[in-house]
Amino acid sequence: MKPKHLFWGVLFISIGILILLNNYGSIGEDWSEFWKLWPLILVLWGIGLLVKNNIAKSFIAVVAAILLAVSVFSAFAFCWNNVVFDEDGPVVFSGDVETTIYSEPYYNTIKNASLNIKAGAGSFNIKDTTGDLLYADAIGIKNNYSLSNTNDGTSTVLNFKMRRTGFSFKRGMKNKVNMKLNPNAVWDLNCDLGAASINFDLSPYKTEDIKINMGAASLKIKLGDLSDKINLDVDAGASSIDILIPESSGCEIKADAKLSSKNFEDFNKIDSELYRTNNFESAAKKIFVNIDAGVSSIKVHRYSSGEYNEWE
């Protein structure tokens, strides 16, 4: 095997192993200092250029790959353990995890509400109702989000934005947001999220337009039957997508996801990218799902009244 093939293979394997060990808590925080060893990579590279023996070259390639993997991993660990990035630049993170409450009052004049969520990696949940227009608790860096609004009397636009887009390898560090919405308003949602875990139970609300743009993420979303028409657009990378829709609503799926596994229960395939339920034409209420995904696992299934009452 050529030394360059060994180098790249060992590099990717080493980085993957380091990330797995970190996820299971087997790596201590002292690893964040190993990035300072990176000059040794230049030394090994120089030696590799001078050595003619293929076995020696292969050995040097393996050692250099492992060293580079450790250096890259520890450099990210150092940055993410100590620094987050604010809108105004890098900010030193103290390591404290706190809960910050965000809320917006509800007034009877508000008929329509739009919620724009922009954030990086983390866990984002919508479940249950509130007497406020929006209530959220964010667990992680204190005041890590901003909540602003524009209101014309009957319509309100809420912007919930993550201030600091960095995250930490440090165990115990969190970025978890739990939201509750008011059921009296008609909601539109526009979410721009990174590597996230997304759990949205939207069945208690009247929703119309829902747009979710996410990276390598896990999405579980439950839609209700309180609106005559719901549009759901999902743009995803390598993700796990699980969509629940009520049996009482007719549903149409357009899926541009040739490299993904698709499991559409109780849907008829109309065209290469088009699927519909049997009751699509006759149903008074309709749901339109548009999915544009990379290598993903996509599941859309229907639930009857009384099913999936517990949202995990």
Let me know whether 112 and 244 are in one domain: yes
Would residue 210 count as lying in a domain?
A: yes
Let me know whether 157 and 64 are in one domain: no
Q: Which domain holds residue 299?
A: 98-303
Let me know whether 55 and 102 are in one domain: no
Let me know whether 157 and 102 are in one domain: yes
Report the domain count for the chain.
2
Let me know whether 181 and 273 are in one domain: yes
Domain boundary among 56, 85, 114: 85
Let me know whether 164 and 248 are in one domain: yes
**Pairwise CA distance, residues 74 & 31, whole Å:** 6
Residue 143: the pLDDT is: 86
Domain boundary among 24, 59, 85: 85
Residue 10: the pLDDT is: 73
- Using the structure block, give the residue that is written with the tokens 């797995």: 20
Let me know whether 71 and 110 are in one domain: no
Q: Using alpha carbons, list the distances in angstroms from residue 217 to 17, 127, 199, 227.
A: 20, 19, 11, 27
Let me know whether 78 and 105 are in one domain: no
Would residue 309 count as lying in a domain?
A: no
Residue 3: the pLDDT is: 63
Let me know whether 201 and 135 are in one domain: yes
Residue 54: the pLDDT is: 72
Would residue 310 count as lying in a domain?
A: no
Q: Using alpha carbons, list the distances in angstroms from residue 170 to 56, 124, 149, 181, 216.
A: 37, 20, 33, 32, 21
Residue 174: the pLDDT is: 73
Let me know whether 75 and 214 are in one domain: no
Would residue 287 count as lying in a domain?
A: yes
Residue 70: the pLDDT is: 73
As given in the structure block, the two tokens for residue 272 are: 């290469």
Let me know whether 203 and 124 are in one domain: yes
Would residue 145 count as lying in a domain?
A: yes
As given in the structure block, the two tokens for residue 87 are: 């809108």
> Which parts of the chain register pLDDT below 70?
1-7, 11, 15, 18-39, 41-42, 45, 49, 73-96, 164-173, 306-312
Secondary structure (DSSP) of 42-58: HHHHHHHHH---HHHHH
Would residue 90 count as lying in a domain?
A: no
Domain boundary among 64, 85, 106: 85
Helices (H), the chain: 3-23, 39-50, 54-82
Let me know whether 151 and 252 are in one domain: yes
